[in-house]
Structure 1
Amino acid sequence: MSNYFFDAIVRTDMGKGASRRLRHEGNIPAIVYGNHKEAVSLVLNHNEVLKRFRHADIYTSIIDLVVDGKKEPVILRDVQRHPYKPIITHLDFMRVNANEAIVVDVPVELLNEEKSVGVVNGGIVTLHEATLAVSCLPKDLPSVIQLDIANLAVGEHIMISDIPAIAGVEFVNIMNEEEMNDQPVVAIVEPRVEVVADEEEAEAEVEAAAEEATEDKE
């Protein structure tokens, strides 16, 4: 797990107009909540934040949020962006407790995809779940879930229950954390075959019929 940190100050001016001014000045409005404490509105420097987002695992890492000199561990819960500009417009942080489990969506990374038995034999990889929800203590949070599909053949799949155990980590159903419904994560399927020959024959028949109709009229 990578170590990231954000410097922030407590926000004092609120409202949409104040948020626009903050963004115009190169800052980002944000909020931190959780761990049985009150929510606090924050201000962060946009350019400093953007540097951290060059790394994909920022979304699944424990971050040190330094607010007015005081540090506390958090995770990202929401990132709002400008619809077409490379600008972050708002951040949500959630405080974490070292002794309390957190639920996080962790990205799935496929290994040996091009070398897999199924792909070599013409199959197509279908990723059903790009992320998987896990429950774990902050120290055990994985940045990515790697699945080696080298031996996966056409017609085969990997279910959540097939994933090797990760120490301290449990897969959960976000809608109902008490029940985990097993489901396929990745599969290799047969490619769809387009019947080009049949289409060409049909077109030829239509053209022939049109020519006969023209000859009859003549």
Structure 2
Amino acid sequence: MQIVATSRNLQGTGASRRLRISGNTPGIVFGAGQEAQKIEINHNNLFHALKKEEFHTSILDLEVDGKSTKVVLRDVQFHPFRPLVLHVDFQRVDENTKVESKVALRYENADKSPAVVSENGTVTPLVTEVSVLATPAKTPEFIAVDLSKLTSKIIPGLQTVKAPAGVKIIARGANKNPALVAVKLPEAAVAAPVAAAPTDKKKKK
């Protein structure tokens, strides 16, 4: 994805406030052994870009004053109750340096799995993105996960995900192999009560 920005010289609370009033959002670009650069970005373009998953997980092309730089989104500050982006941080990435970033998991073929076809289950994703370590060129937009063999008793974990060549998946937390999805089976039908056998009426004498 590409985002266009311009450099800014003014700084401080007052300057940032005036910048937001004019429809732009202040930001900063840092890293790669270079000095931090203050930038401003059109607020509406940035706000809509932030709604896209790939903007948070992909290597971005940031164009500042006509010069393009590879960056990743590092931090975003939102207004506590208004739909307003207050500040944004980008980190430069070198083409040959591996960087950690978030990549979405895309689940495929769940509708063809035994869990759905044979067991009539409902599949719910539990893990929607993973941290990966890779160079910008090798960082994928998403990683596909095939669920065609999914059953209610065979649930794939994070360690079963096959990352592309040159990409390493990083597991966080104590559980290094969390379940990727959950399968909810339909509730068992309640057995109907057995009707009592009719009693023979006594014959009248």
Question: Could you say whether these structures have the same fold, taking a TM-score greater than 0.5 normalized by the shorter chain as the test?
Answer: yes
1:150-199 Cα offsets, whole Å, 9 max, x none, are 22001221122212241110111357xxxx963134234344859999xx
Call closer, same or farther: CA 1:84–1:108 in 2, change over 3 Å.
Answer: farther
How many percent of aligned residue pairs carry the same amino acid?
36
Larger mean Cα displacement after TM superposition, 133-142 or 33-42: 33-42
1:53 CA drift (Å) = 4.3
Partner of 2:10: 13
Larger mean Cα displacement after TM superposition, 115-124 or 151-160: 115-124
Structure 2: state its 5+ residue gaps.
Answer: 192-205
Aligned counterpart in structure 2 of residue 116 of structure 1, from 113, 116, 122: 113
Q: Give, as a single letter, the amino acid of the residue that structure 2 aligns with 1:130.
A: T
Matches of 2:31 and 2:88 in 1, distance apart? 14
Partner of 1:30: 27
Call closer, same or farther: CA 1:146–1:85 in 2, change over 3 Å.
Answer: farther
1:54 CA drift (Å) = 5.9
1:58 aligns with 2:51: no
TM-score (normalised: structure 2)? 0.78
Partner of 2:161: 163
Partner of 1:183: 177
Aligned residues: 190
1:5-44 Cα offsets, whole Å, 9 max, x none, are 2222222222223222211110011111111222222111
1:128 aligns with 2:126: yes
Indicate the RMSD between aligned Cα atoms, in angstroms: 2.8
Call closer, same or farther: CA 1:154–1:194 in 2, change over 3 Å.
Answer: closer
Check whether the contact 1:30–1:91 (CA below 8 A) recurs between aligned residues: yes
Q: Give, as a single letter, the amino acid of the residue that structure 2 aligns with 1:186.
A: L
Secondary structure of 2:104's match?
strand
Matches of 2:154 and 2:143 in 1, distance apart? 19
Partner of 1:144: 142
Larger mean Cα displacement after TM superposition, 156-165 or 140-149: 156-165
Check whether the contact 1:62–1:74 (CA below 8 A) recurs between aligned residues: yes
Partner of 1:39: 36
Q: Give, as a single letter, the amino acid of the residue that structure 2 aligns with 1:95.
A: R
Partner of 1:96: 93
Secondary structure of 2:132's match?
strand
1:143 CA drift (Å) = 0.8
Structure 1: state its 5+ residue gaps.
Answer: 198-218
Secondary structure of 2:54's match?
helix
Normalized per residue, the structure richer in helix is 1
Secondary structure of 2:35's match?
strand
Matches of 1:113 and 1:88 in 2, distance apart? 37
Q: Give, as a single letter, the amino acid of the residue that structure 2 aligns with 1:151.
A: K
TM-score (normalised: structure 1)? 0.74
